[in-house]
Structure 1
């Protein structure tokens, strides 16, 4: 059984959960991707306690997903912006959103739709082979041992 931390797990998903697995983290990342930047905006959107939000934002900054930027000198006020590392979570956030739309759906329909700014078409995440460029379906994927498992007893 997994505990609160995944230190003994030789698994990329477990390591990722150490960073983004806390209940509020992906919701904060979602809100930043939606354009929210300030503490009060997050608090209003999420209904989260101030101390919990403060801790979450600090951890996201410490983990390099957000950067805290001063937007006002007197009094000092800050906003939060995604770093490249934080922006790289977009595919995961969209994928979780689409999964929820399909498997934990709201009777009124999806709360948000991801649309291509260029043509207005729907945007879907997909798995693509880096060698041939083709979209790869679930049945055509092999999950093989990587370099980290070379010295690990199976």
Structure 2
């Protein structure tokens, strides 16, 4: 078996970026609309140094951008906003939440929904024609090379 460091695939590289548990929660809060350090800190109860490190990594890897803002009478602060690649991680986070809802009975179910009409949505495999492909018919492999 090839070690991940010897021949890294896209999954290896992706896990290096987002695989730390707090990173998932920071991304979840950002997808829900958080952008200020204080919002992330309050929602997550995360230590400031850990949050600072996670936000810096998300900015350094291009999943978030840092944008300065200033409240009246306050010093300038940084806000953190998802980039398009960061927003695309909503699919990954929703798939993980969906799996948790289906297989971990102690979790509080969270449902993804369509913003326009509130209808629930789910993550599925879809072919290039938009046809849903059952999970049992999907095979993933890493090309030889």
TM tier relative to shorter chain: 0.7 to 0.9
Supply the distance in 1 between the matched residues of 2:133 and 2:56 (Cα, whole angstroms). Answer: 38
CA drift of 1:2 comes to 10
Instruction: Determine the structure 2 residue equivalent to 1:87.
Output: 87
| Alignment partner of 1:63 out of 51, 61, 64 | 61
CA drift of 1:89 comes to 0.2
Q: Is 1:120 the counterpart of 2:118 in the alignment?
A: yes
CA drift of 1:45 comes to 1.2
* 1:43-94 per-position Cα deviation (integer Å, ceiling 9, x unaligned): 1111111111111100000000010111118511111110011011010000
Change beyond 3 A, Cα 1:34–1:22: same
* 1:11-33 per-position Cα deviation (integer Å, ceiling 9, x unaligned): 32211101100111111000001
Q: Which runs of 5+ in 2 are unaligned?
A: none
Supply the distance in 2 between the matched residues of 1:135 and 1:20 (Cα, whole angstroms). Answer: 27
Give the secondary structure class of the aligned counterpart of 1:80: strand
Supply the distance in 1 between the matched residues of 2:111 and 2:130 (Cα, whole angstroms). Answer: 26
Instruction: Determine the structure 1 residue equivalent to 2:29.
Output: 31
Aligned length: 143
Supply the distance in 2 between the matched residues of 1:10 and 1:68 (Cα, whole angstroms). Answer: 29
Supply the distance in 2 between the matched residues of 1:144 and 1:100 (Cα, whole angstroms). Answer: 24
Instruction: Determine the structure 1 residue equivalent to 2:49.
Output: 51
CA drift of 1:101 comes to 1.3
Supply the distance in 2 between the matched residues of 1:97 and 1:142 (Cα, whole angstroms). Answer: 22
Normalized against structure 1, the TM-score is what? 0.83
RMSD of equivalent CA atoms: 2.2
Q: Which runs of 5+ in 1 are unaligned?
A: none
CA drift of 1:144 comes to 4.0
Instruction: Determine the structure 1 residue equivalent to 2:102.
Output: 102
Instruction: Determine the structure 2 residue equivalent to 1:133.
Output: 130
Change beyond 3 A, Cα 1:2–1:24: farther
Give the secondary structure class of the aligned counterpart of 1:35: coil
